[in-house]
Amino acid sequence: MNRRVRSSLSIALLLAMAVLQSGTATARDLVLAEAHPPTHPIVKSEELLVRRVAELTNGEINIQLKHSGQLGNEDAAWKNIRAASLDMTRINFATLVNEVPAAKLLGLPYLFRSRDHMWHVLSGDFGKRLENEIAKTGAVLLTYYDSGTRSFYTTKKPIRVRSDFDGQKIRVQGSPVYKDMITLLGGTPVVLPYDKVLDALRTGEIDGAENNIPSYVSAEHYKYARYYSFDEHSSVPEVLLISKKSWDSLNPEQQKAMMTAAAESNVLMKKLWAEAEARDLAKAKKEGAVIIEKNDLGMSGIEAYALKLYSKYVTDPTDLKTVLTILQSK
Ligand code: GTR
């Protein structure tokens, strides 16, 4: 090899090395589908996730956050994750009920006494079970996010006692647990995707729905459903997922960076959640929402009906043990 050829070869190799070291050669885009708009606290937490993943991988992984349902609703995201045609998503556990049996239990009313109780349960054996069941679907659980507590809200008259449900059409997510809960309470369940609820409240297709305060406000449901009854019947967390295929395409350092960033965004979400709840509640009140506090609700009647669900959904011996452990845990 003559000197000129050798030197051009060295230059070419040096350039290739520089590209590799700068990470450009291995840089990857991952798409993250999010249904909520930027006014919802989850988007801020995801923005931190995006930033931290880029920092921790020296720009090797670039997450493209597609918020406001740009890529479709949560059912579509969950399907696409399992088909590995989408890299990442944040969805509510209610979306997972058909493929992840433990997710159904999370929707049982009054399962958790408090947010601390829920976090304690998720960090223990039950969290492991969720993680394992999710792994079987072709997805990897990165972290959970706070989703507060869900309560009922209605357009025509407030819910104060069990009989106020009579004849009311209440929107629920597509889980049989929720459908049955509304039927037991005396109402008619209407399953609708989240992005159709506002219109359905506006046109009278439904008389009410149920959600946490930041979703009630950021999705503008409060503009038509003026009565929010703080019964706090469920606390169903959100989950951040990556498809198994996308996960396996990351090297161990990149996977570690992803887990670290996800854990950091979980911590931020807890803080943002508390702030968003207070801010959005004040906004809803200021704009005319009528808040019915728990003390003003006939809770014993409402609870008694809703709790009848347990006998239908907690029959399997493993589930019985699990639910009992959750209810009795500190
Ligand atoms: C929100 C939750 C969404 C979705 C929505 C709904 O609180 O963040 O993921 O589950 O409720 O009611 O469909």
Protein residue with least CA distance to atom 12, ligand 1: 194
Which of 74, 179, 241 to probe ligand 1 with, by most ligand atoms within 8 A of CB?
74
Q: Which atom of ligand 1 is nearest to the CA of 193?
A: 13
CA of 132 to the centre of ligand 1 (A): 23
Residues at CB less than 6 angstroms from ligand 1: 35, 74, 91-92, 94, 147, 173, 194, 211-212, 215, 238
Classify residue 92 by its DSSP letter: E
- 191 bridge partner residues: 172
Q: Which atom of ligand 1 is nearest to the CA of 95?
A: 10
Q: Which atom of ligand 1 is nearest to the CA of 92?
A: 9
Alpha-carbon torsion 248, 250, 252, 256, what sign?
negative
Structural tokens at position 53:
């993943």
Q: Which atom of ligand 1 is nearest to the CA of 171?
A: 12
Protein residue with least CA distance to atom 1, ligand 1: 215
Choosing among 3.40.190.170, 3.30.460.80, 3.90.550.10, 2.40.170.20, the CATH entry for 23-94+137-145+237-278 is 3.40.190.170
For residue 294, the model assigns a pLDDT of: 94
Q: Give the residue among 217, 226, 241 at the shortest CA–CA distance from 289.
A: 226
Q: How far is CA 96 from the centre of its chain?
A: 10
For residue 27, the model assigns a pLDDT of: 87
Domain boundaries, the chain: 23-94+137-145+237-278, 150-235+280-328
Q: What value, to the nearest 5°, has the Cα angle with vertex 77 and ends 88 and 216?
A: 105
Q: What value, to the nearest 5°, has the Cα angle with vertex 98 and ends 94 and 38?
A: 30
The neighbour count for residue 116, using CB atoms within 10 Å, is 10
Q: CA–CA separation, 222 vs 157, rounded Å?
A: 13
Residue 4: exposed, middle, or buried by beta-carbon count in 10 A (0-12, 13-18, 19+)? exposed
CA neighbours within 13 Å on the CB side: how many for 2? Answer: 2
Across the 330 residues of the chain, what is the mean pLDDT of every consecutive 10-residue run?
55 48 67 96 98 98 98 97 98 97 95 94 96 98 97 97 97 95 97 97 98 98 98 96 98 98 97 96 98 94 92 93 92
Q: Give the residue among 75, 83, 93 at the shortest CA–CA distance from 33.
A: 75
Protein residue with least CA distance to atom 11, ligand 1: 211
Which of 36, 147, 220 to probe ligand 1 with, by most ligand atoms within 8 A of CB?
147
> β-strand 238-243 against 88-92: which pairing, if any?
antiparallel
CATH architecture of the domain 150-235+280-328 equals 3-Layer(aba) Sandwich (3.40)
For residue 210, the model assigns a pLDDT of: 98
CA of 262 to the centre of ligand 1 (A): 20
CA of 194 to the centre of ligand 1 (A): 6
CA of 43 to the centre of ligand 1 (A): 13
For residue 18, the model assigns a pLDDT of: 45
Q: CA–CA separation, 325 vs 317, rounded Å?
A: 12
Which of 46, 90, 191, 194 to probe ligand 1 with, by most ligand atoms within 8 A of CB?
194
Q: Give the residue among 216, 210, 194, 222 at the shortest CA–CA distance from 152.
A: 210
CA of 93 to the centre of ligand 1 (A): 9
Structural tokens at position 48:
């931190």
> β-strand 227-234 against 188-191: which pairing, if any?
unpaired
Q: Give the residue among 262, 32, 72, 42 at the shortest CA–CA distance from 147.
A: 42
Structural tokens at position 144:
């959970």
